[in-house]
Amino acid sequence: MQSKHIIIIAVIIAVVIVGLTIGFGLRGQAPGGSVGVVEITNVIHSSKNIVKDIKNFGDSPSIKAIILRINSPGGVVAASQEIYDIVKRQKDKKPIITSMESVAASGAYYIALPSDVIVANPGTVTGSIGVIMEWPVIEKLLQKLGIEFEVIKSKEHKDIGSTYRRLSEKERRLMQEMVTDVYDQFVQATAEHRGIPLDSVLKLADGRVVTGRQAKALGLIDTLGSFEAAVEIAGDLIDIEKPHLVYPPKRLSLIDILVTPMEHITLPKLYFLWR
């Protein structure tokens, strides 16, 4: 009897995992003259699905424009840059409009930069041009528990960023150089896409956040408005009064939910992130 219960539970878990991984199906069809909406929410840890959705809409002949609906504080640098790159590539095919919801800061703002038009609400939190790298150091806790690490490494910096010890001054300089290099990339991209002098961007690029209204005055966005305003702008750009909106399938992996949070907490990563 107990073995039967175990089998039943295993089958239920398998069905749930498969169902969650497959997704929830397409939302809307794509008649001619449609606008594809890609929603970018929460902290950006992976670019895979977002890049795929933007590319699919970019390649679809029935999708005439793309709206990026962003509600995110940013995320991992490389993932943000991959999304930025696909936006930059696809805008040559069709108009891309960014609609900022509550938050579109740091890496989420970086993603929006290549858009043809950036729309934000007056109270949207955006900006936060900067880079951060952080991880926990549990050296003192390990000492209290009597736990020590034996490390055999090829060269002195192979374990740089380990959680069981603090950085040396030399290591801190190396990490700071990485952060500064990525920061320069962010600043240059902002100056390029927004047409703002580099010196002016540098004055803003201290990690500060601004409201949508402030961002408009500073030239960081194009116009103030809601998602509906962004849809109207998309319609104007493709000469369709009321474009049909199409969304990609929603995806949710149970494995990602259970496994990845601890990885994000413990492993050093470069972030475009507003805290």
Report residue 149 as tokens. Answer: 């690490």
Selected catalytic residue, list 34, 99, 106, 115: 106
Q: Are 63 and 57 in contact (CB under 8 A)?
A: yes
Spatial CB neighbours of 25, under 8 Å, sequence gap ≥ 6? 249
106 has catalytic annotation: yes
205 vs 194: CA distance, rounded Å: 14
158 catalytic per annotation = yes
Which residue among 158, 170, 203, 250 is the active-site one?
158
Amino acid at 78: A
- Using CA atoms, how far residue 197 sits from 187, 188, 219, in Å, is 10, 10, 11
Q: Which sign, positive or negative, has the C-alpha torsion 13, 14, 15, 17?
A: positive
Task: Decide: residue 247, CB within 10 A, 0-12 exposed, 13-18 middle, 19+ buried.
Answer: middle
Q: CA torsion angle for 257, 262, 265, 271 (degrees, to 10)?
A: -40
What is the SS3 assignment for 108-136? Answer: HHHHHCCCCEEEECCCCEEECCCCEECCC
Indicate which residues carry an active-site annotation: 106, 158
